[in-house]
Structure 1
Amino acid sequence: MEGEQSVDLIRVQLRKQRALAGMNQEEFGKRTNYSASTVSAVETGTRPVDLPYARRADEILETGGLFESLLRTAQQDAQPAWFMPWLKAERAAKQLRYFNPTLIPGLFQTENYARTVLRFDDTCPEQEIEQQVAARMERQEILRRERPPQIFAVIDEAALRRANAIMAEQLAHLVREAELPHVHIHIIPARAGLHVGLDGPLLLAMLPDGTWIGHLDSQLGGESADTDEKVIKLLGRWEGVRTVALPEDLSLDLIKEVESQHGPQ
C-alpha cells in the first residue's frame, strides 16, 4: 500500500510539473518521445511509471533526477520486507549465483514472462502487478552496469519447456543475455533425472568483502540465509546442481533448440 501511494504521488507531481512547464499532454509527449495517449495513461494510472519514462521526464522538466529518485523509492516500498535483504545483497554483489528448477530466474525474465508469473497470485490488483513488473525490470539494470557482477545461473530444462505463447520471446531473450561476457548460464538436461536441486530454488551473492549471503524462495515468500551454517549448506547445494548441468556452449545450444520448438515470436 505504501508503494502504491508513492506511485500515485509521482503521477500527481508529473501532471503538476508538466502543467507548470506550460505543456499539454501532446506537447509533453513530443518532447519526451512518447505518444499523448501514453502520457495520459501514465498520469491516470492505466500505465505504470517506469524508469525510462521517469528519466525522460526529469530531463525535459529539468527536475534534477527527482522522478527517478521518487520511483526508485516507491519500488523499494512496494517490495515485501522479507525480500529487502536479498535486493540489497544483489545490488552490492561481486558475484551472483541463481538456481531455479521450474522458472526462468527473475534477473533474466522478459516483461511478459514476469507479468505471467506475478499473476499466479490472482488476488493481486493489476496496478500492483504492473508495479512489481517494473521493479523486476529495474533489478535487471545490474546486468548492464559499467562494472557488473559476475553472474552464474543454473536452470532446469523443464523451465525452458513450459508450453506458453510467451516462451519463444523469453528464450530468445535468454539467449541474448547468455551472450553477455559476465553472464554464464548452464542448463540441467532432462536426462540428468533426479538431482539435489529439485528441493527448490536458491540464490547466492558474494559481497565485496568476500562474504556470502543466500536466499530461499517458498510459496509463502522467502527467507535470507546469512549464517555460516546455512550459507555452507547452500554453497554445497549449488555445487550439486552445477555438477549435473551442461557446459555453457552446450547449454546455449539447448536453449536455442527449445526456442525453435516454441515457434515464431
Structure 2
Amino acid sequence: MPQPPKQLTPSNGALDLFGSEVRRYRERASLSIAALAELIPYSPSFVGAVERADSGCERGFAEAVDGVLDTHDALVHLHDGLFGKKSGAFPTWFEKWPRVEEKAGKLVVYQPLVIYGLLQTPEYANVVLGGDVTGVESRMKRQAVLTRDDPPPPRLVYVLPEHVLWLEKGGPDVMRAQLDRLVAAVASRASVQVIPAGVSHPGNDGAFVIATAPDGSETAYVETAARGIMLDATDDVSRLKDVFTDICTQALPVSMSIDLIERTNEERWKI
C-alpha cells in the first residue's frame, strides 16, 4: 500500500517551501512523481526527495519542471529567491541532516572513502573540504552531538575499509593526528571497526548513515556523486540496514580494529 505523502510545513524553511510548491504544481497537472520524472532528466527518487524536502536541487531542476508543467517560470523564480544567493554553512541538500543527527539515539555509519565527518580533526576536515573555513567550523560544531551530556550522545557504530587509513589527506602530521582521533573516539557509546584490505564486502556503492530516533523512527543519509539524499521510506532504510549488517560481518572486532589503526599509524604515518 503506497505511503501517504509526507506533510510539509513551508514555514519550516526553504526546502519545505520549495518541495511543497513542486508537489502542488505536479498535482495540479494530474501527474504522478513517476510520470513527471519521465518528462524531465531526473529520476523518480530524486523528484520525490525534493518534494519531501529531503534534498535540495540545482536551478536546472526548477527549469525542467517549469518547462513541462507550464508554471510560467514560477519554480525558477522561487528557486532564485530561496537559494540563488544562499551561502550557508551546508549545501542545501544537507541542511536538514544535522537536525536528524541531533535527535538520534543511534547512528550507524559506513564511509568507504574518507574518515566519517563527526570523527574528523579540523586539519583533516580542512583538506577534505578544500579549505572551506565555514564548512570546517560547521563540521566541528556538529561533532558536539557525540560529547553532549543531556540528552546522552547517540550510540555510534562506525565501519570503514582499511584503505581509508592509507589515503593521505594533508600529509603525515594530519594523518597521524586523525588516526589518533579515531582510536580516542572509541568509548562506551562509540565503536570503530575496520574491514581488512582484500576482504570482499557489499559496501562499494557509497557512503551512508542510518539515524534511529528515540521513538524508533529511522532516517538514512546516502551520498551520491552529485549530492546527498535523505531517505525515510521503510523499504529504503531496510535495504541499507541489510547492507550494513553484511558489511559488519566482514569487519574486525573493535579491539582488533584499534590495533590495526595504531599499527597503521606507526608503520605508515610516523616520521
With the length of structure 2 as denominator, give the TM-score of the two structures: 0.64
Amino acid at match of 1:111: P
Q: CA deviation at 1:77?
A: 3.8
Q: Letter of the aligned partner of 2:265 in structure 1?
A: E
Separation in structure 1 between the aligned mates of residue 133 and residue 88 of structure 2, nearest angstrom: 14
Q: How far apart, in 1, do the equivalents of 2:260 and 2:221 lie? A: 28
Find out whether 1:103 has 2:108 as its counterpart.
Answer: no
1:144 matched to 2:150: no
2:233 aligned with 1:230: no
Q: Quote the Cα distance in structure 2 between the aligned partners of 1:244 and 1:171.
A: 21
Q: Which residue is 1:189 aligned to? A: 196
Alignment match, 2:262 = 256
Does residue 1:161 correspond to 2:161, yes or no?
Answer: no
CA displacement 1:115-163 (0-9 Å, x = unmatched):
11111xxxxxx5xx10000000001101111111110000110100113
Q: Secondary structure at the match of 1:214?
A: strand
User: Paired residue for 2:135, among 125, 129, 132?
Assistant: 132
Residues 150 and 183 in structure 1, CA contact (< 8 A), matched pair in contact too: yes
Map of 1:24 onto structure 2: none
Q: Does 1:84 align with 2:95?
A: yes
Q: Distance in 1 between matches of 2:258 and 2:128?
A: 23
Q: 2:110, 2:209 within 8 Å by CA — same for their partners in 1?
A: yes
Task: Give the paired residue count.
Answer: 180
Partner of 2:64: none
Q: Which residue in 2 is equivalent to 1:208?
A: 214
CA contact (8 A) 2:175 2:269 kept: no
Q: Which amino acid aligns with 1:141?
A: A
Gap regions ≥5 residues in structure 1 = 1-75, 120-125
Aligned-residue offset at 1:201:
0.7
Q: CA deviation at 1:99?
A: 0.5
Matched, 1:240 2:251: no
Question: Aligned partners of 2:256 and 2:190: how far apart in 1?
Answer: 15
Structure 1 letter corresponding to 2:268: H
CA displacement at 1:100 relative to structure 2: 0.8
Q: Which residue of 2 aligns with 1:59?
A: none
Partner of 1:72: none
CA contact (8 A) 1:167 1:262 kept: no
The letter for the 2-side match of 1:109 is Q
CA shift for structure 1 position 262 = 2.9
Q: For structure 2, list consecutive stretches of 5 or more residues without a partner in the other structure.
A: 1-86
User: Which residues of 2 match residues 57-96 of structure 1 at below 5 A?
Assistant: 77-96=88-107
Which structure: greater helix fraction? 1
